[in-house]
């Protein structure tokens, strides 16, 4: 029975393995946890931004420049009625009446009806 405590005491006198020197102490955080703590929030943020962009495009009809139609302006004329100015890919501008169950062409607009983009921006600043 005395051989077992002697064996344990001889193990305690041996030098520690090399990997024990890099093991974190009680107050330290492992390197993998630090990297995950930095990268994971960034990945989540980018994912959330992509989801918001997707929802905005679906909800508000935000389209790319090469889309066949783009909404220039929307004017509410009633609870569910709108007049929407739409520009086609070829540059034509159309005024469209939109109601809850119908869509009708009101007029085809010329460039002088729309004005330039700079004029509309200046008008919105006032």
pLDDT digits (tens, 9 = 90+) for 15-38: 655 445 555 566 677 888 889 889
Q: Is the dihedral of CA 113, 116, 117, 119 positive or negative?
A: negative
pLDDT digits (tens, 9 = 90+) for 89-104: 888 899 999 999 999 9
Q: Where are the domains of the chain?
A: 20-60, 69-125
**65-74 own/partner pairs: CB under 8 Å, 24+ apart:** 72/114
Query: Tokens 């086609």, residue?
Result: 88
DSSP for 34-96, written as a single string: HHHHHHHHHHHHHHHHHHHHHHHHHHH----TTSSEEEEEEEE-SSS-EEEEEEETTS-EEEE
Output the six-digit token pair for 44: 């989540």
Does residue 75 surpass a pLDDT of 80?
yes
């Amino acid at each position: 029975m005395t051989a077992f405590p002697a064996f344990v005491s001889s193990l305690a006198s041996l030098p520690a393995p090399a990997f024990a020197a890099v093991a974190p102490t009680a107050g330290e955080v492992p390197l993998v946890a630090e990297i995950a703590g930095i990268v994971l929030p960034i990945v989540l943020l980018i994912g959330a931004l992509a989801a918001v962009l997707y929802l905005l495009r679906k909800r508000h009809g935000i389209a790319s420049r090469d889309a066949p139609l783009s909404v220039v302006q929307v004017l509410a004329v009633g609870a569910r009625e709108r007049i929407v100015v739409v520009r086609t890919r070829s540059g034509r501008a159309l005024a469209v009446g939109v109601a809850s169950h119908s869509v009708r062409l009101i007029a085809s607009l010329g460039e002088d009806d729309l004005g330039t983009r700079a004029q509309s921006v200046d008008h919105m600043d006032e």
